């Protein structure tokens, strides 16, 4: 899951001051105007957005309050992504902007968090003079100490990766929340060593969070009015937690059922899966619980077996096709989406064609599509030559995007005439006379408002039109 746009918006919801995390916003705004303020931008995958909510809670506990106004902030934080060169370029551009702001307010501190911080470590402090703090994804508990030392002029860095840290005891502060859907990170790190990927180096080894703390967070969210949670991890379906008291092991399928049991009106989604870990038990859980959504994000990366082997994805084309068939067999109304990389090292035109045909064969509802961006320190960077010319990478990417748009359009056209249970997330982007929401298959549906209905409600919507990205309908 990936986007290049920074998001920071705070919802001044009417809150119960006794609730941990929620207190953060309202109470501190009132009568604590002169409290120290932090401004945070998040980039990359949902894990980073979820981490920023953990950071907001940690800083809240030491008296910081969040602001969306960069000029009034005492501390600017940027939660960075390193998955592609472009993501790091975006961060560098933002630092140039922060540079100007800091010139106006020299006491202001600037901190870089996340995967780029972890990848560059102290080099970041050497390369970027305005940066006061470099903090990796497993070191956010140390932020208050690092901030305190930086306030005395001492640059701070902590990029230690942990084998235990899951921040399970920290109640995230919901940033940019619509009050309806929320992320819950259930595990951190990744043990797969896909040859193109920096994540194992920037987020460390896999560790799963205490299952009961996940269920507690989902229960809290439901009690606060949220109606959907997305269980997050770099590789959620390899979740495995051993209860230290009983020795009982909780698998991902079991955790899904535990969260679904919180309340039938609480929808459960999850992301991101590695195909090799999607078990039949997970599929049976999706089939058997109406509130576990009929949607799986199943990154394939390439449709060709030789390239999949070079990528160290641990499956080949035939195996993946059989997995897709198994998903449709057990959950016939499931929608599957994917991640695709074009122009990987030594990819031939014929092999590229296999990626195009896979999109049609798997009938993806949508995909995240990129051309290969060599990442320093990865297996591919060390062992394979990045030999596909940029214009060929871009040509192949545009072909993948074109085919996917056709398949998405067909996928959505087949929904015309069908009625779906939709969770309203808010007003549609185009008109405040329309609601937007998603069905179980994770498709966005836009439909005219009806009085007495609001965000957070479930409604039944009959689809009467569709584009390749959105369904249109009316409440029935």
Binding site for ligand SF4 (CB under 6 A): 190, 192, 194, 197, 199-200, 234-235, 274
Supply the minimum distance, in Å, between the C-beta of residue 205 and ligand SF4.
Answer: 11
Q: How far is the CB of 272 from ligand SF4 (least distance, A)?
A: 7
Minimum CB distance to ligand SF4 smaller for 190 or for 461:
190
Please identify, using beta-carbon distances, which residue of 378 and 408 lies nearer to ligand SF4: 378
What is the distance between the alpha carbons of residues 383 and 352, in angstroms, rounded to a whole number? 21
Cα-based torsion angle of the residue sequence 109, 114, 119, 125 in order, rounded to the nearest 10 degrees: 0
Taking the least distance from each CB to ligand SF4, the nearer of 130 and 379 is 379
Distance CA 312, CA 376 (A): 17
3-state secondary structure of 263: coil
Looking at the Cβ atoms of 177 and 202, the one nearer to ligand SF4 is 202
417: which DSSP letter?
T
Cβ atoms of 401 and 409 closer than 8 Å: no
- For residue 81, the minimal CB distance to ligand SF4 (Å) is 12
Report residue 207 as tokens: 């560790």
Q: Of 171 and 235, which CB lies nearer to ligand SF4 in the complex structure? A: 235
What is the β-pairing status of strands 75-80 and 37-44?
A: parallel
Q: What is the DSSP letter of 49?
A: H
CB of 276 to ligand SF4, least distance (A): 9
Report the residue number, 60 or 137, with the smaller CB distance to ligand SF4: 137
For residue 253, the minimal CB distance to ligand SF4 (Å) is 19
CA 326, 332, 334, 336 dihedral sign is positive
**What phi and psi, each to the nearest 5 degrees, are found at residue 264?**
-60, -20
Cβ-based nearer residue to ligand SF4, 129 or 163: 163
The minimum distance between CB 380 and ligand SF4, in angstroms, equals 11
User: Is the Cβ of residue 194 or residue 232 nearer to ligand SF4 in the bound state?
Assistant: 194
Q: Phi/psi at 36 (nearest 5 deg)?
A: -65, 145
- The phi and psi torsions of 424 (rounded to 5 degrees) equal -75, 125
In 4-79, alpha helices (H): 23-29, 46-60
Closest CB 267 distance from ligand SF4, rounded Å: 24
Residues 6+ apart with CB under 8 A from 438: 422, 423, 425, 444, 445
Is 185 within 8 Å of 50 (Cβ atoms)?
yes
Give the C-alpha separation, 277 to 408, whole Å.
Answer: 25
Q: By the 8 A CB rule, do 33 and 69 touch?
A: no
The pairing of strands 133-135 and 109-113 is parallel
Which residue lies nearer to ligand SF4 by CB, 188 or 294? 188
User: Minimum CB separation from ligand SF4 for residue 362, in Å?
Assistant: 18
- Taking the complex as a whole, the smallest distance from the CB of residue 95 to ligand SF4 amounts, in Å, to 25
Q: State the nearest-atom distance from the C-beta of 191 to ligand SF4, in Å.
A: 8
And the tokens for 206? 């896999």
Q: Which is nearer to ligand SF4, 197 or 446 (CB)?
A: 197
HSE at residue 423, side-chain half, CA atoms within 13 A, is 24
């Amino acid at each position: 899951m990936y986007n290049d746009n920074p998001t920071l918006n705070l919802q001044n919801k009417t809150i119960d001051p006794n609730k941990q995390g929620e207190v953060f916003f309202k109470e501190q705004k009132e009568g604590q105007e002169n409290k120290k303020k932090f401004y945070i931008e998040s980039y990359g995958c949902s894990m980073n957005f979820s981490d920023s909510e953990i950071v907001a809670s940690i800083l809240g506990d030491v008296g910081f309050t969040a602001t969306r106004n960069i000029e009034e902030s005492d501390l600017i934080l940027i939660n960075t992504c390193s998955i592609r060169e472009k993501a790091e370029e975006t961060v560098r551009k933002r630092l140039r902007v922060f540079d100007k702001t800091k010139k106006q307010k020299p006491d202001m501190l600037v901190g870089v968090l996340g995967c780029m911080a972890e990848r560059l470590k102290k080099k970041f402090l050497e390369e970027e003079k305005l940066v006061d703090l470099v903090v990796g994804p497993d070191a956010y508990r140390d932020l208050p100490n690092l901030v305190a030392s930086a306030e005395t002029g001492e640059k701070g860095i902590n990029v230690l990766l942990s084998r235990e840290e899951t921040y399970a005891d920290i109640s995230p502060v919901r940033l940019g929340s619509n009050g309806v859907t929320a992320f819950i990170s259930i595990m951190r790190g990744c043990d797969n060593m896909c040859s193109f990927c920096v994540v194992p180096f920037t987020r460390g080894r896999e560790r799963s969070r205490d299952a009961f703390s996940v269920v507690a967070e989902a229960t809290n969210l439901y009690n606060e009015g949220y109606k959907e949670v997305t269980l997050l991890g770099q590789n959620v379906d390899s979740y495995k937690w051993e209860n230290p008291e009983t020795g009982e092991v909780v698998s991902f399928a079991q955790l899904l059922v535990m969260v679904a049991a919180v309340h039938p009106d609480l929808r459960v989604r999850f992301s991101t899966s590695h195909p090799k870990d999607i078990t039949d038990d997970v599929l049976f859980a999706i089939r058997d619980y109406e509130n576990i959504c009929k949607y799986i994000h199943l990154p394939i990366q390439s449709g060709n077996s030789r390239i999949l082997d070079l990528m160290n994805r641990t499956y080949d084309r035939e195996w993946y096709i059989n997995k897709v068939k198994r998903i449709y067999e057990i959950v016939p109304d499931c929608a599957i989406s994917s991640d695709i990389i074009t122009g990987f090292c030594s990819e031939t035109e014929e092999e590229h064609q296999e990626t195009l045909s896979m999109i049609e064969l798997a009938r993806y509802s949508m995909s995240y599509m990129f051309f290969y961006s060599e990442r320093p320190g990865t297996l591919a960077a060390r062992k394979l030559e990045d030999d596909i010319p940029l214009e060929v990478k871009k040509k192949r990417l545009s072909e993948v995007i074109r085919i996917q748009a056709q398949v998405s359009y067909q996928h959505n056209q087949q929904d015309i005439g069908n009625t779906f249970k939709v969770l309203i997330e808010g007003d549609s982007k185009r008109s405040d006379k329309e609601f937007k929401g998603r069905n179980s298959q994770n498709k966005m549906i836009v439909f005219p408002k009806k009085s007495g209905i609001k965000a957070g409600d479930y409604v039944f919507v009959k689809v009467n039109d569709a584009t390749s990205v959105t369904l249109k309908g009316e409440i029935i």
